[in-house]
Structure formats: C-alpha cells, structure tokens
Amino acid sequence: MKQATELAQLLKSLDGQKYGAYKRLKGAYQFKQFRLAIDHAQVDPYAPPSKMRVIMNRETANIPRDLLDSKNKVIAVSDFLTRAFRESLESFKHSEKDSKSVKNIFIDHCGQEILERTAVVINKHDIDVRLEVSLPAAGRKILGKVAAHILIDTLPKIVADALLYQNMNQFELKNQVTLMLDQVFIREELERRQLVSFVANGAILPRKSGVSDKPLSGAVAFHSPESVEVNLSLPSGKTISGMGIPKGITLIVGGGFHGKSTILEALERGVYNHIDNDGREYVITSHDAMKIRAEDGRHIEKVNISPFINNLPGNKDTHQFSTENASGSTSQATNVMEVLEADTSLLLIDEDTSATNFMIRDSRMQQLIAPEKEPITPFASKVKSLYEDYDVSTILIVGGSGDYFEAADHVLMMDEYVLNDVTENAKKIAASDESDKQINAKQPFGDISNRIPLKSSFSKKGKEDRFKVKGRYSILYGKELIDISGLEQLVDHSQTQCLAEMVDYYKTHLLNEHDTVSQAADKLYDFIEVHGLDAISSFKDHPGNLAKPRKQEFCAMLNRYRGLKVKNK
C-alpha cells in the first residue's frame, strides 16, 4: 500500500496538468490513523465529485465495544458518526486556513430521523466513511497543491475530530444509543399491548416551518387524554407516560387549525426513530404504517379494487383494474389495496388529502342516487370490516363528516392543540341520528390482490436500462418517470437513491415470475439484512449515499412504475 507522503508528492507533480490526470490518484494510501481509498477520480471539473473512503481500524477509533454489540447499536453509532463528520466539516469552515478546503468535501446529510445508511459502515474490524471530494481546478487544469492541502492537511484533522472516541462528545454518543434502544423497545411494546402508536406526554409535535423539520419553539406540549394514557418502563430505566392508541379505528376530530394534521404528521414520521431533542423522539408508530391519500392521474396495473368500486359503466371489471389516468377516488382505493398487498397493518388518512366520494356518501345523496347506480362503496362502509377481517387498523383525521362515528372505537378531539376523548359524546350523536343511512351497513371487506410482476416490465436495453434519481420524489428509468410524490413518509433523498438501486437489483437478480410483489420485497429485504445495503449498490466500492426505505415504500414505488406488467396469482 502506498503512503500518504506518496499521495502528496503525486498531487504536487500533477499541478498544472490536464484535469483527466487526476485518474492517476486511484488506489489506497496509508495515513497515520487511517487509510484513504480513492475509488473513483472525476475526469472533468464539472463531473460528479470523486468518490473516496476513510477506513479506520476500530481499535484506533477506540469506541467501546458495548456500544457496538448489536445491530441497533451499530445503526445508532453510524448515524452519530455521520452527523459528527458533517459537523466537523461545518466547524472547519470557520477556520480561515481550512475554510476553502472543506467546501470540497461532502458526506451524506442526516435529518431528524435515524436511518440505516451507507455513509458510515461499521464492520467487525473497521469504520468505513464514504465521502465525495471535488478535486480543485483552475479551468480544466489541476490545482495539485490545493488538492494536497485538502487531502493531506485538512482531511486528517476532520477524521480525528469526528472518529476518535477521545475527541467526540462521549455523553451524546451514549445517549443516542440508549435513546434508540428505548425507541426500539417501545415499538416492540406496541405489539405486545395491542397498540398501534404511542405519543409521549411532553412531546413537541409542530415543526419550525414548512422548510424546517426542527421542533417549533414555544409550541404547546402534547398531553394524553386520561382514557388512553399508558405508562412505559424503558430499558434505560426511565418511566414515561403518554397516549397509547389501541388497535381498531381511531378518529382525530376538531376544527380547522387546531392541530389535527400536525398530530397525524407526527404519527407518519413515528415509523422512524428520531434523534434527541427532536420533540418527537417518543412518538412511535407501528413500523409498517402507511399514509394513504388520493393521487389523481397515477398508473394502476391489474389491482383488485372491487371492495370499493364496482358496477362501472360498460361492465368494466374491477377485480383486475388497470388505467393510465386514475381519478381521485380510484387512486385512493388502489392505494389502500396496494398497501394491504404489501402487508401494512395500519392506515393513516387525512380527509384534507382524500377524495371526498371515496371517504363518505351522505344520506341525502344515498336517497338521490340508487345504490346500483353508484359504483363507489365509501371507505366509511369498509373501515370496520377491514379491521375485523384483516386486523388492519385505521387512524383518520376528520373534521367535515360524522359518518365514521358508528365505526370508530375511539374519537379524540383536538381543541387548541389539546387532545380530549369525546368517544361517548360521538356515539350518542351517532345513535340519535334518525336519517336512513345504509353507509355503515355491515358487509365483508373483500379480497386482496396477489400480483406477480413479469420480466417484460423491464425490457429496456443499453443506456436506457438505468435508474437515475431526480430529487426525493422522482426516479427515471431510462427516460420514463416514476413519480413517487404520493409517498409522503419518505424523508430523505438517500432513501430514493436506495429505492432506485433496489429495483435495479430486483429486476436483475430476483425477478422470477413466481413471487408476488410482497414476496419479492421480502426476499430483497432478507438479502439486505444478511449482506447489507452495500450489496445492492451498482457502485460496489463506494455506495455512500443510500438510506434504507421500508418494504412498503419499495412496493409502492414498484406499483407506480407505468411499465409494470403483472399476472394475478
């Protein structure tokens, strides 16, 4: 292996040469405390940055073994080191000597959630940090001396600051590991207690702004209604109390601007663990919960939407329904059926982003339009049988209709950001309603699709047979757009990057025309569990910007690909 001094000499010798000569840097170099692997050197100053890895022996880093003896702990520590590296970069920006250098170094950005990432990977022997570095140039000529300052002088300072246990905030590291173990325990405790979500007393749910996911200062702290309050004794020794939402159907009602959607947004993000001081670190939701909304214009491929839509004009079959341009109600019915196919156990629905005719049909409209002339069976008529037949719970945000009162197990009302239990009052109102309603008549839910993707779905050749990410909600397959803007629980661009890598790996290695969408996803996630996210990356040496999405997002992304072809099992 070459030494850091040889890298310094090489960089200085390249000074003034054509930019493409940077490719001579590729290889590994031994520094005092780590190895630097230059996996890919950009050949043009306007090309994507060069890809490099800092590899430090765990004994050198000296992070205590008891902080790394389980997968959950490793994820927590990896997340902490990713943030520490980025914070170190930020601090060096304020150094007059190093400020220009660190602007050339990049590492994946972490939000408020703790995700399994590839930015920092901890294995049995090493800590592997994946970086991108823009190698400096003047026009198209190499600035070798500047590059040497970046890699030889500045980078080792950042590495020592971020990765050596003696230099890091040891209390915060231990606290993050402890917090994550508590969060994992609560998520497991939900299932044991027949709950679908927990919101701790004192949680701060509102966010700072529409462009900031940090907690809003001065916000009203959450407090649970007494009827649904539970106490939890955590592995850390803490005892916390808060709202435990039971399985079944829960309505959150209230006037506009009183905080209904804010609590649902917190529950949506509760599928992830959060960092300390986020305000929602003890907002924990079943890991497979899915936010459902209407998505006008989306593609649908042979989905059984008959539980909600039947008797279409022209006798069009809805047991294997396909369209290139779904309406609001049809898209929302499809979204429900597809997430059920993906083994979701909890639906999260806000009436503000729903199709009204999918959600309700009032008594007057029932009298005007005969049942045989109305193809849509509203969700209000099926929400109870969905729970009874398939054990799938629903949390609904409603403010404009009482049609769900009969079906609801719990009705909670937000009043100036304070939650109260109004179940008894809602049930009395429902019982006193003498209108002739058929909307909540008892009926079975119906069957769920089991569709098998076909190999002909991915028939592109050459350069067209590639996936590229364009922002958090767009993936290109060749020139074909996969619009995933309806997947509101994606929180990171790196999750989208991972989805692109996952579908590429799936179509190349796992698609066999025997497995359903759900079975194929399970095999993919089992492979990742054994081999890690690195194993699915098309860039094997440096898969540094991937964050693991959930199975439900992978299935949902696949369903939104307009070229998808399936057969029913």
- Give yes or no: residues 420 and 496 share one domain: no
pLDDT of 367 above 80: no
Structure tokens at 169: 């905030």
Q: What is the pLDDT of residues 390-420, one digit of tens each?
A: 999 999 999 888 889 999 999 999 988 899 9
Range 145-170 average pLDDT: 96
Tell me the DSSP string of 286-352.
Answer: -TT-EEE---TT--EEEE--TTTB---GGG--STTEEESS--HHHHHHHHHHHHHHTT--EEEEEGG
pLDDT of residue 375: 84
User: Where a domain ends, among 103, 135, 168?
Assistant: 168
pLDDT of residue 456: 96
Q: What is the pTM of this model?
A: 0.94
- Please give the tally of structural domains in the chain: 3
Number of Cβ within a 10 Å radius of residue 10: 19
pLDDT of residue 374: 67
- Give yes or no: residues 489 and 534 share one domain: yes
Residue 87: closest CA among 162, 140, 185: 162
User: Where a domain ends, among 432, 459, 483?
Assistant: 432
pLDDT of residue 115: 98
- Give yes or no: residues 146 and 13 share one domain: yes
Q: What percent of the chain has pLDDT over 70?
A: 95
pLDDT band, very low/low/confident/very high, at 436 (cuts 50, 70, 90): very low
- Give yes or no: residues 367 and 507 share one domain: no
- Give yes or no: residues 477 and 414 share one domain: no
- Give yes or no: residues 378 and 456 share one domain: no
- Give yes or no: residues 407 and 520 share one domain: no
User: Where a domain ends, among 367, 402, 432?
Assistant: 432
| Domain-embedded: residue 221 | no
| Domain-embedded: residue 422 | yes
- Give yes or no: residues 23 and 153 share one domain: yes
| Domain-embedded: residue 329 | yes
| Domain-embedded: residue 188 | no
**What is the C-alpha separation between 211 and 481, in angstroms, rounded?**
25
- Give yes or no: residues 539 and 405 share one domain: no
Burial of 350 (0-12, 13-18, 19+ CB in 10 A): buried
pLDDT of residue 99: 65
Residue 422: closest CA among 154, 219, 130, 227: 227
- Give yes or no: residues 94 and 164 share one domain: yes
- Give yes or no: residues 422 and 492 share one domain: no
| Domain-embedded: residue 285 | no
Structural domain harbouring 479: 451-568
| Domain-embedded: residue 446 | no
| Domain-embedded: residue 278 | no
Q: What is the pLDDT of residues 309-332, one digit of tens each?
A: 987 766 788 999 999 999 999 999
- Give yes or no: residues 411 and 546 share one domain: no
| Domain-embedded: residue 340 | yes
